């Protein structure tokens, strides 16, 4: 997997954790004995139970995906970049606003 893609996925999962969201990371597989879906050692049915009755957003990203990130053009400064944020504008925002 391209390092930039993996870094973007890690950044997204870190942002989710900072929002106190549930994040499960590991290999997705079925338990051969019970037929239950697991991510690593986490049973998905039990993990999702805490969100029962709520509106949720589920995002699944493969860490094995080999596709490169698409190049984007920043709407603010016009720079080409890859990833979730324009690094030039993000650096300026952090410098000026502190976040």
Assign 1 a pLDDT band (cuts: 50, 70, 90): low
pLDDT in tens, 53-81: 999 988 888 878 788 778 999 999 999 99
Q: How far is CA 6 from the centre of its chain?
A: 9
Query: Tell me, what's the pLDDT at 77?
Result: 95
8-state DSSP, 34: T
User: Is 0.75 surpassed by the pTM of this model?
Assistant: no
Rounded-to-10 torsion of CA 48, 51, 57, 59: -20
């Amino acid at each position: 997997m391209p390092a930039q893609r993996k870094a973007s996925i890690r950044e997204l999962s870190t942002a989710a954790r900072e929002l106190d969201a549930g994040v499960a990371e590991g290999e997705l597989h079925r338990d051969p004995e019970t037929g239950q879906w697991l991510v690593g050692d986490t049973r998905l049915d039990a993990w999702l139970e805490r969100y029962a009755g709520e509106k949720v957003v589920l995002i699944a990203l493969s860490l094995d995906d080999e596709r490169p990130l698409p190049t984007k053009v920043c709407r603010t400064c016009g720079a080409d970049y890859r990833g979730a944020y324009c690094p030039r504008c993000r650096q300026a925002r952090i410098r000026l606003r502190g976040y």
